[in-house]
Amino acid sequence: MLQIANAFFKLPGDYLKPEDEEISGFKERLNERLAPVGTQFSGEGVNEDWEIADTLAQWWRPNFETFMYPFIPAHVTRPKECKKLYFIQLPRQSMDPPSTASHLLTYGY
């Protein structure tokens, strides 16, 4: 989780283009946001150790309303948006926080 302010937390996420493959797109976005600062643009040491596991949830937005559903309603042929939540294991290497305005919170077991 990212801590933006004292009482505001959010999950790191981003949008993928429709033509992007999910797994490689996730790895690209995670490298852009969570990779150490010196290596993310130079191409050296880019992290490919992300373990992308199961899909935890999937919601559909049928049109321009704010509600999302865990299923595609029967009357909808082409939904506006699909939002997926994946379980992604962070690698053991250290990573820099995304910016100085936010903190990366991790919990170990």
Give the span between the Cα atoms of 67 and 37, in whole angstroms.
37
pLDDT > 70? residue 6: yes
3-state secondary structure of 27: helix
pLDDT > 50? residue 41: no
- Most confident stretch, 19-28, 38-47, 62-71, 91-100: 62-71
Give the span between the Cα atoms of 90 and 34, in whole angstroms.
10
Q: Which residue has the tokens 């959010």?
A: 10
Identify residue 5 by its one-letter amino acid code.
A
3-state secondary structure of 83: strand
Q: What percent of the chain has pLDDT over 90?
A: 11
Judge contact between 58 and 83, C-beta under 8 A: yes
**Residue 65: what pLDDT?**
86
**Residue 44: what pLDDT?**
53
3-state secondary structure of 26: helix
Name the pTM for this structure. Answer: 0.62
